[in-house]
Amino acid sequence: MKVICVLCTLLYVNSALNKTGRCKFVGWWGVGVVRFENSVCTAANGLLGICYTRRQCTTIGGYVSGKCARNIGVCCVVQVSCGATSSNNNTYFQNPSFPNIFTGANTCSLTVQRCSEDICQIRIDFLSFSLAQPNGDGVCANDALIISGGAANLGRICGDNTGQHIYLDFNNGSNIDINIFTSSAITAGRQWNLRVAQIGCDSPSRAMSGCLMYYRGTSGTVRSFNYGQSVAIGGRQLANMNYGVCIRTAPGMCSIQWSATSGDSFAFTVSLDAQVPTALTGNNCETDYVIIPNGVTTTADGAALSADRYCGSMFTPVTSSSTPFVLYTVTNGNEATDSANRGFSLSYTQQQCTNNLLQL
Ligand SMILES: [Ca+2]
């Protein structure tokens, strides 16, 4: 047994330094040394965990929920709250007393460390996220999510963002700090549950650089931060945003069509008065707008109209053949000329290539 344990230690050290980008460790079980990959597992409670030995799970502050690796390993779930530091893939960062709401004033932070030098990116899934709404200018003046230390600046995010996600590259070896500020100036029930996944530099799951959001479906819906139909103060659209949303080009697809999500009269209220439907394009969009590179709309008389910028409070379907498929969001720091803007909920559909060998 002594020999086995020495071997375990050596393998553990070696594996922690390996170059796979998957943060492998070595499990040992019974009378022999057993290797298994620390892959993602679905825990018995439905959350995502990582396959570890029971001892490793305890060491990293997780808890066991089910088994994995042909019952050799345990599915280890890590849930943390304010003040934590984690290098664990799929860490759940939750408000104090989650799933109950949090009403206090606080600064709550998670420090994310790379679990190996072959990790390039994190994906944050907003499984649950509700902070106070922005002020009348769309500024997150009371509560705010502020992420620092990564390779891009996001601006302040607040309001309701359940279901959103973001990708963020590590800035070399620097940690990424996820900070949530809740203000004593207002009374609000806050809740958050953010899942932070670590993505290897060579992983097919890695988003292209410059894509804050990345979607993989041939069709789907993209919503701006804090998009919603109801408004309390001013509007819901967040100020000072500037980011790209990318869509993975599916095989055989050559263009993408964007349209306002059907059945929602506020699905595109980006500038001007949300109650007075008006569509603007090009240089008429100066404050808040989306950019669809080389977009083409069809006018009522059938003519094609090209533009890059789209704003106002109405959206005519736009098709673009520019690749990679991307949509940019830009907002300024106020809503001085705007009223009751919600932001956007745009649905996309990738369109097949025509006159292409792939069609034969
Ligand atoms: Ca604005």
Q: C-alpha 82: how far from its chain's center?
A: 20
Query: Residue 187: which CATH number?
Result: 2.60.120.290
* 273 C-alpha to ligand 1 centroid (Å): 11
Instruction: Find the 331 Cα to ligand 1 centroid distance in Å.
Output: 5
Q: State the distance from the centre of ligand 1 to the C-alpha of 233, rounded, in angstroms.
A: 14
- Write b or e for each residue in 82-112: b if 16 or more Cβ atoms lie within 10 A of its Cβ, otherwise e: bebebbbbbbbbbbeebeeebeeebebbbeb
- State in Å: Cα 326 to ligand 1 middle: 21
> 118 C-alpha vs ligand 1 centroid, how far in Å?
39
**What integer pLDDT is reported at residue 26 of this predicted model?**
46
Which residues are close to ligand 1, an ion, with C-beta < 5 A?
287-288, 331-332, 335
Q: How far apart are CA 112 and CA 114, in angstroms?
A: 7
Helix-, strand-, coil-residue percentages of the chain, each rounded to 5: 10, 45, 50
The whole domain housing 192 covers 81-204
Supply the pLDDT for residue 23. 59
The reply to whether 127 and 144 lie within a common domain is yes
Tracing tokens 């290897």 back to the chain, one arrives at 200
What residues have CB less than 8 Å from 308, skipping those under 6 apart?
282, 291, 292, 293, 294, 295
Which residues contact residue 288 at a Cβ distance below 8 angstroms, ignoring those fewer than 6 apart? Answer: 237, 270, 271, 311, 330, 331, 332, 338, 341
Q: Where are the beta strands (DSSP E) in 139-288?
A: 144-148, 165-169, 176-182, 191-200, 211-215, 219-223, 242-247, 253-260, 268-269, 279-281
Residue recorded with tokens 């025509």: 354
CA–centroid distance, 4 to ligand 1, in Å, is 64
State whether 131 and 277 are in the same domain.
no
User: What is the model's pTM?
Assistant: 0.90
- Alpha carbon of 137 to ligand 1 centroid (Å): 7
Whether residue 323 sits in one domain with residue 286: yes
Considering the domain architecture, whether residues 200 and 144 belong to the same structural domain is answered as yes
Contact 110, 177 (CB under 8 A): yes
pLDDT value at residue 187? 86
Residues 214 and 174 in one domain: no
Of 64, 80, 96, the domain-final residue = 80
Q: What angle do CA 264, 167, 310 make, to 5 degrees?
A: 40
Residue 307: the pLDDT is: 97
Q: Kindly state the tokens that stand for 326.
A: 């991307």
Q: Residues 213, 198: one domain?
A: no
**If you measure from the C-alpha of residue 332 to the centroid of ligand 1, how many angstroms do you get, rounded to a whole number?**
5
Ligand 1 centroid to Cα of residue 289, in Å, is 9
Kindly state whether residues 144 and 85 are assigned to the same domain: yes
Ligand 1 centre and the CA of 296: distance in Å?
A: 24
Residue 341 CA, ligand 1 centroid: distance in Å: 9
Q: How far is the CA of 335 from the centre of ligand 1 (A)?
A: 4
**Are 146 and 242 in a shared domain?**
no
**Cα–ligand 1 centroid distance for 264 (angstroms):** 21
Distance 317 CA to ligand 1 centre (A): 23
CA nearest to 146, candidates 171, 124, 127, 163: 124
- What are the phi and psi torsion angles at 192 (to 5°)? -150, 145
**Alpha carbon of 136 to ligand 1 centroid (Å):** 10
Instruction: Measure 234 CA to ligand 1 centroid, in angstroms.
Output: 11
The residue assigned the tokens 């964007």 is 258
Question: Are 220 and 360 members of one domain?
Answer: yes
Q: Are 271 and 289 a contacting pair, CB within 8 Å?
A: yes
For residues 69 and 195, state if they share a domain. no
Residue numbers of the chain with a pLDDT score lower than 50 = 1-21, 25-31, 359-360
Compute the distance from residue 270 Cα to the ligand 1 centre, in Å. Answer: 8
Centre of ligand 1 to C-alpha 11, Å, is: 56
- Total domains in the fold of the chain: 3
Domain boundary among the residues 154, 183, 204 is at 204
The pLDDT score that the predictor gives to residue 207 is: 97
The owner of tokens 């100036």 is 185
CB within 8 A of 63, min separation 6: which ones? 57, 76, 77, 79
CA 52 / ligand 1 centre spacing (Å): 48
From the CA of 158, how far away is ligand 1's center (Å)?
16
- What separation in Å is there between the alpha carbon of 239 and the centre of ligand 1? 6
- The answer on 68 and 134 residing in a single domain is no
Q: Are residues 243 and 350 in the same domain?
A: yes
pLDDT of residue 129: 98
Q: How far is CA 201 from CA 118, 140, 152, 167, in A?
A: 6, 33, 17, 13
Rounded to the nearest angstrom, the distance between the alpha carbon of 237 and the centre of ligand 1 is: 8
Give me 77's structure tokens: 């779930």
Q: How far is the centre of ligand 1, averaged over its atoms, from the C-alpha of 144 (Å)?
A: 18
> Which of the listed residues 204, 219, 252 is the one where a domain comes to its end?
204
* The length of the chain, given as a count of residues: 360
